[in-house]
Amino acid sequence: MRQAGQSGLDAVTIRSVATELGISPMTIYRFVDSKDELIDAMLVLALSRMEVPHSSASDWRQRVIDIMVAWRELLLAHPSVVQMLVNRRVPAHSEGLGRPAEHVLANLEDGGITGEEAARTFWRIFSFTFGHIVFERPRRDIDAEAQAEAGRAMAATARLRGFERVERLAGELTGIAARGTLESSLKVLLDGVGARPSGT
Q: What is the pLDDT, as a whole number, of residue 199?
A: 52
Sign of CA dihedral 167, 173, 145, 136: negative
In angstroms, the CA 22 to CA 37 distance is 20
Plot region of 22 (φ>0 → left; ψ -120 to 50 → alpha; else → beta): left
In angstroms, the CA 148 to CA 78 distance is 29
Long-range contacts of 97-105 (CB under 8 A, 24+ apart): 97/47, 99/50, 99/51, 99/52, 100/52, 100/67, 100/68, 100/71, 100/126, 101/126, 103/52, 103/67, 104/64, 104/67, 104/68
For residues 61, 114, 86, 49, the Cα torsion angle rounded to the nearest 10 degrees is 80
* Domain extents in the chain: 2-141+175-195
In CATH terms, the superfamily for domain 2-141+175-195 is: Tetracycline Repressor, domain 2 (1.10.357.10)
Q: What amino acid is encoded at 38 in this protein?
A: L
Pick from 54, 14, 61: nearest CA to 33:
14
In angstroms, the CA 68 to CA 86 distance is 17
Return averaged pLDDT per consecutive 10 residues of the chain, 200 residues in all.
Answer: 56 77 81 81 83 88 94 86 83 80 94 94 93 81 86 96 96 85 91 67
Q: What amino acid is encoded at 118 in this protein?
A: A
Q: What is the pLDDT, as a whole number, of residue 11?
A: 67
